[in-house]
Amino acid sequence: MDAPTEQQQPAQLSSGNDREAFRQTLWNTLLRRSFYLPSFKIYGGVSGFYDYGPPGFALKNNILKFWREHFVYEEHMLEIECPSVTPEAVLKASGHVDKFTDLMVKDDKTGTCFRADHLLRDYCNDKLEKDHLTISAEQASELKNVLALLEDLSCQELGLKIKEYGITAPHTKNPLSDPYPFNLMFQTSIGPSGQSPGYMRPETAQGIFVNFRDLYYYNGKKLPFAAAQVGQAFRNEISPRQGPLRVREFTLAEIEHFVDPENKSHPKFSNVAELEFLMFPREAQLSGQSAKKICLGEAVAKGTINNET
């Protein structure tokens, strides 16, 4: 089957199918134009790894240049660069070793692994899109409620829902194991002895946090200040199947702001105080109201956002 051309775009992105078709068209175009290239392609490739081709590499550099100009230089941020390999003690203290996990299920016969929440999400979306004429309003409401609460379901609750809906392995239709946590960090060892465990960093923030004291001294022991870092991050995704949107190695551009607890003002806040954003304050969530547009100035005044930075 021929890949779609750039002209074959849906007229409207009104449904999930339209959005998926447009995403696939865009993805095929990026591949054909060498913005992205599947890594190690001549050796069969590895899921979740991509190379930047010449136009993709140039585009990425332009984005990072603009990002630095807009944030780092404009706000006089302190930019640092830290190693990609992180000792276990650092990520143990941050909670990543124990909690940086996704829930996984296995095909009982083939051993193929899947993200449990993805299987449940796909099932609910398929029922709502394809069977909306045959399911009752009560069933539709339940499926929508599951989707809304999906990220908050415990391991046991997720397993019960998978069994309740009779969800099986996507291709083989074999039964699935009970969900269990899978740590997304790539583990390694530092040094030849193998007795100093480490991980490829899953995010760049930890390098900023562990350097806080030195950055605070560098800034003349004055708050507030912001620190930034651009670098590679690594996550051993269970099923990276969304092209470049969910991969196992990627570039992060991250900022951490450190504010004075006694004075959370920002000198440029007046420039943005009148801008409106869609927000969902806590009280609206608890009372069953919908999200609404609120000015930043009003949101800070009411404590919906707790500082001007």
- Give yes or no for residue 1 having a pLDDT over 80: no
Confidence of residue 130 (pLDDT cuts 50, 70, 90): confident
Q: How far apart are CA 62 and CA 200, in angstroms?
A: 26
- Give yes or no for residue 7 having a pLDDT over 70: no
Maximum distance among all alpha carbons in the chain?
Answer: 67
Share of the chain above pLDDT 70, in %: 94
Are 104 and 238 in contact by the 8 Å Cβ rule? The answer is yes
For the chain, strand residue ranges (E) read 36-38, 50-52, 78-79, 85-87, 101-106, 113-115, 180-183, 187-189, 197-200, 225-234, 249-258, 276-279, 292-295
pLDDT digits (tens, 9 = 90+) for 140-151: 888 988 888 888
pLDDT digits (tens, 9 = 90+) for 87-123: 999 999 999 999 999 999 999 999 999 999 999 999 9
Written as six digits, the tokens of 275 are 């801008």
Range from 166-170, 179-183, 264-268, 284-288 carrying the lowest mean pLDDT:
284-288
Mean pLDDT of 157-182: 93
What confidence score (pLDDT) does residue 245 get? 76
Task: Name the β-bridge partners of 79.
Answer: 228
- CA separation, residue 262 to residues 212, 217, 224, 302 (Å): 18, 19, 10, 17
- Give yes or no for residue 249 having a pLDDT over 60: yes
State the average pLDDT for the chain: 89
Greater confidence (222 vs 151) lies with 222
- Closest Cα to residue 47, out of 239, 251, 252, 250? 239
- Give yes or no for residue 2 having a pLDDT over 60: no
What confidence score (pLDDT) does residue 189 get? 93
What confidence score (pLDDT) does residue 13 get? 53
Confidence of residue 193 (pLDDT cuts 50, 70, 90): confident
β 187-189/225-234 pair status: unpaired
What confidence score (pLDDT) does residue 132 get? 77
What confidence score (pLDDT) does residue 6 get? 44
